[in-house]
Amino acid sequence: NAGVTQTPKFRILKIGQSMTLQCAQDMNHNYMYWYRQDPGMGLKLIYYSVGAGITDKGEVPNGYNVSRSTTEDFPLRLELAAPSQTSVYFCASSYLDGSYNEQFFGPGTRLTVL
Amino acid sequence: AQSVAQPEDQVNVAEGNPLTVKCTYSVSGNPYLFWYVQYPNRGLQFLLKYITGDNLVKGSYGFEAEFNKSQTSFHLKKPSALVSDSALYFCAVRDNTGKLIFGQGTTLQVKP
């Protein structure tokens, strides 16, 4: 199993550009999550999904969108990049509810918006 | 307000000595608590969790955590630190909307 994979690993965007961060898992997990990690701030939940076709907002969803058309994939879309979106983004998955059970994290995408 | 706090930005310990990384929490109802570790340039990895039962929880890599309801704490411990334990450690608690709230993280530095 590859686990949770994320692409790209690094990206530099200009203000106003858009991009999609890719996330895939091969563990047949129902739950998937997107977090952002800022220095000294811990992780903040952006969006999550409890299964294909179902998504919901987390703590910091503004400026982002997600979709979940398959169990495996959970892409995160940035439409109009802003410097405040400079961060490290982590995708995670869990077989059962990840607020009670272990979440498996991808290696992260480091995004810089200039 | 529901929250989790890690009062130390960094903990330094000598190899072979016991280590403690502190975590306190504030939630309504029964707490569901987690510890995750992040090695450089990697995603977080699960160490252990407390849901209910024994106040001393054993986890991966020889780590354990002690749940103390009266002090609202969930400190991470290890009897003998290794240099390879050096990493960033996160405490997390389930809030009443079913999401995890993460602490700001504590850097553990184990020196030979």
Question: Is B9 near chain A, with CB under 8 Å?
Answer: yes
| A24 close to B (CB below 8 A) | no
Task: Determine the residue among B57, B99, B107 to mutate to test chain A binding: the one whose Cβ has the most chain A Cβ atoms within 10 Å.
Answer: B99
pLDDT digits (tens, 9 = 90+) for A28-41: 999 999 999 998 88
pLDDT digits (tens, 9 = 90+) for A56-104: 999 999 999 999 999 999 999 998 999 999 999 999 999 988 888 899 9
Long-range contacts at B66-75 (CB < 8 A, ≥ 24 apart): B67/B31, B67/B33, B71/B24, B72/B24, B72/B25, B72/B26, B72/B31, B73/B22, B73/B23, B73/B24, B73/B25, B74/B23, B74/B24, B74/B25, B74/B31, B74/B33, B74/B35, B74/B50, B75/B20, B75/B21, B75/B22, B75/B23
- Partners of B45 on chain A (C-beta within 8 Å) are 105
Q: Tell whether B8 lies on the interface with A, counting CB pairs under 8 A.
A: no
Residue B46 to residue A102, Cβ atoms within 8 A? yes
